Structures are given as structure tokens and as C-alpha cells.
Structure 1
């Protein structure tokens, strides 16, 4: 482990029980984390997290070679992966046989696999590619399901009926989803070096999306704490800031010493189908 990583594991976890467990993997722009969940006992057996990576995708590729927990024969594996090549297509315009035609709108040229992910609650389908550093590698996970990075955040958002801004933080970046009238209006990820830059992006989001601060709920998750610089910055504009928790019956004792919202989006990946 280095100073930017942490591994929390139930001392009673037996790697031989992996066939009864799910592996959840979240690869961010600058972070990498995973969780092991026993399907039978509904217990979170382990959580690994590494922040401030030069590349989350590259860090994942590296740990696949050295981390024995990633190589166990799990019942199911789910990957949530940041990519710059992603586009949302309204379901009434989506045609599964024309995936390649939509790739012309990607920000980067692609030569790999195309993936699709239905967001039926919000009425669209996401089409995306994965970073080359891990796309080929994931083919070894025969039972692996691949999701775009915001999939778990959107699964948490489904229970909210009001206009809501969702922010999911790593140490050096944050993901944004803005939901209005049960529609996903905006999604983006921003890297931030300091509080001034964070303040700039928050004002940019508020102004460009014409967010009504009195009518919009703010829900946050990830690596942020009440009273820190980013939290206090948000309070300059929003009257209330709520932390997102995973509405689940999972036993999370392994995380008892950590803030409950730190790994909400990671554990919510368990709800994605």
C-alpha cells in the first residue's frame, strides 16, 4: 500500500468463498477502487481505494497483475469505468444495429469495442468505449458487466423526484449529474487543483445550467467531509448539502471507521443491471 491507498478487509473473509461473491470495480479519471460483496450473507467483505492516480485506468491495469483479490473466481464482476468517449442517445432514437454510427460524436477516435448501457428510468441509452489500457484486459472477465462511470450515481438518483444536483468526489476531481423533471440534463467530470478552481466550476455549472438554488437539492458523495474547503464552498451557494447513502441491506461493518458516503457510488454499482 502507498500513502494514497487503503485496503479494508474482514479478517474472516475466505478467498475460497469468492464464487459466492460479487466484485465491484470503479475506475475513475484519477482513482481506482473495488469492493467484494458476499451475495449470500450480504456482507461487504473488502474495500480497496486508491486516490490521486495519474490515471485510474492505468492503475487498474497495474493492479490486475499484482492484486490476488482481483483474480479470484467471482460469481459476478461489475466494472464502472471513466471514459471520454461516451454519448447518451434517447431511447426513441436508439438502434442497437447502428452503434458505430453514433461513435462519430465521440471526443476521441476509437478502434476498440463499443458498449451500450440502457438507462431506462431516464429514457436513454449510453454508448461508450473504454480506455485502451484496460479494454483488452477486461476480456478475461467472461462474467464481467461493463458500465460507464456515472452508472452507479444515476442508480442512486432514481429515487429522487425533485430537481437535484449530484456531485461525487475523488480527492482531485468530481463527477456531476444534474437531474430535472426526471431527466438527466447534464453529466461531466472536472479535475480540480485547488479551492479557487473548484469554486469556478461550481459557479460555471450553476450559471450555464440556470440552476435555481432555492428549488434544487444538492446531494454529494465520495471523498468530501463536512466542514472542509469544498463543503464550505458549496454552502456559499446552496442552503443545504446532503450526503448520499446507499439504501441497502448490505452489512458494511468493514467500513465502520469510514464516513458512510465515501463509497456510496462504489457500492451502488451492486444495484446496476
Structure 2
């Protein structure tokens, strides 16, 4: 297995028909992860992740031609995409006839996908790599990263700030009064850069030290990034959503590593 990658396989998976499984994919600008989910037990049978990619589109093309698991016939395929090439539009202001005008605000996307979030009443336009569209089945459902992240938090009247860590990317999501206030991703190469973006967003959003902070992804309790959050906030904890089906496979790694990927299953 290559450097910076992880592969976990359920011992009994090879004997199961793949058409009883769902494929979940999580793509960022420098990583690719997938999970194969049994539709009857609702639990993962295969987990794969590779980080620090320079050419994500090329890597995905290679994986779909060489990874035997990705060639299986799945009941459904869902892809959550983290990209800086996106825009939010309130549903009540969205006019499909103006799509070409909206796309002027994106960075020359090769392909675009439109997604409507029913609960938030937000339309998201996502710019995609053309290679991604080529290798995925036509039935693939594309989702903005907002969808699984929103699924991962407990919507309440109390303010909540979710911090989702990738290898070199961090995504912030802030909700208050069960409404989305902010969501964006930042390229972060070290602790100093993380501290800078954290303070920038904290100041812009007016976050108080009493704001509840949830951490997930590639972070651990007590590491430098967690301790950085604890400098500014009183309540900082790992996020383990009750609606995500963890099992013995996810137990082999810290479970919060897989939140965004596994939450994709719950999104429409």
C-alpha cells in the first residue's frame, strides 16, 4: 500500500454480493477516501483513504482502473466534494435561467453540479474536475461538503462550531439557532497557519469562549491542534455523532476520523 494511505477490509466482505452495498466517496483538493457500506447492516465493509495528493483527478482515474473494489456494481454512489470552487445561493433567490451568470463567479470549472439542500434551502454550485465525471457512474449523486458536515452536528439553539481536519485542509462550520451561519475551507500546512485562520474566523463571526467546539477528522485529543482550540474556547471535544453507524472496522482507527465520509450516506 502506498505512503499516506489507509485500507481497512472486513474479513467476510469478499463473499458478499456488491449490489447490496453503497459506495461513499469523500474528495478534497488533496485527498481521496471511500467507504463500501452494506445496505442491510448499514455498516462499512471497506474503508480507504489517501492523503497529500498533488493531482487528485489523476489519482482518482488511476484508482478506478486499478482498485478492484471500485469496479464493483453498487446499489448507489454518493460523492461529497470539498473544493474552493463553489458558491451558495439562497433557494428563494435562485433562478436556473441565470446559471451561466452564476458560473462567472467560479474559477472556470470543467464541470459543474447543482445541489439543493432541503433543510437549509440552499442551492450549491460545485465546480468539478472533468476526470472525476468520466470515471464515476452516471447514477452518482454529488454533494457539497456542507451536506455531510451539517449531518455531523447537533442542530440546536446553542451556537456550535465544527472543525473538520484533513491532512492539509481544515473546514469550519458554524451554526446558531439551528441555522447555518458560516462554512468554508482553508489550506493549512502547519499550526501557525491554523491559528491564523482560526483567529480570523473567530473574530469575523464574533465567537465567544463559551461557544461549543466539535473536532473531527485527522485530529486527536491533546494534540497541538486540539490544544490550540483550547486556548480560545472552554468546551472543546471530539465529535461522535449518534446517527453514524460505527463498527469493528472503524474501531481500528479513531472513529471521528471517518465522520465526514460515513455521514455522506445520510445525505440526499
Rounded Cα–Cα distance in structure 2 between residues aligned with 1:162 and 1:60: 39
Aligned length: 268
Structure 1's 235 and 145: CA in aligned 2 closer, same or farther, altered over 3 A?
A: same
Structure 1's 212 and 123: CA in aligned 2 closer, same or farther, altered over 3 A?
A: farther
Superposition TM-score, scaled by structure 1 size: 0.91
Alignment of 1:168 onto 2:164: yes
Q: Which of 234, 259, 264 is residue 254 of structure 2 equivalent to? A: 259
Partner of 2:200: 204
Partner of 1:123: 121
Q: Which of 237, 240, 244 is residue 245 of structure 1 equivalent to? A: 240
SS at match of 2:235: coil
Correspondence 1:1-273 to 2 at 5 A: 1-14=1-14, 17-106=17-106, 108-112=107-111, 114-138=112-136, 141-157=137-153, 159-214=155-210, 216-248=211-243, 250=245, 252-273=247-268
- Whether the aligned pair in 2 keeps the contact of 1:44 and 1:253 (CA below 8 Å) is no
Structure 1's 189 and 58: CA in aligned 2 closer, same or farther, altered over 3 A?
A: farther
Structure 1's 213 and 57: CA in aligned 2 closer, same or farther, altered over 3 A?
A: farther
Structure 1's 5 and 249: CA in aligned 2 closer, same or farther, altered over 3 A?
A: closer
Q: CA deviation at 1:135?
A: 2.8
Rounded Cα–Cα distance in structure 2 between residues aligned with 1:249 and 1:135: 28
Rounded Cα–Cα distance in structure 2 between residues aligned with 1:247 and 1:231: 22
Q: Residue by residue, what CA displacement relative to the aligned partner does 1:210-250 show, whole Å, maximum 9, x if unpaired?
A: 22222x21111100001111011110001111222232363
| Unaligned 5+ runs, structure 1 | none
| Unaligned 5+ runs, structure 2 | none
CA-based RMSD of the aligned residues comes to: 1.8
Structure 1's 171 and 217: CA in aligned 2 closer, same or farther, altered over 3 A?
A: same
SS at match of 1:185: strand
Rounded Cα–Cα distance in structure 2 between residues aligned with 1:153 and 1:251: 17
Rounded Cα–Cα distance in structure 1 between residues aligned with 2:255 and 2:16: 28
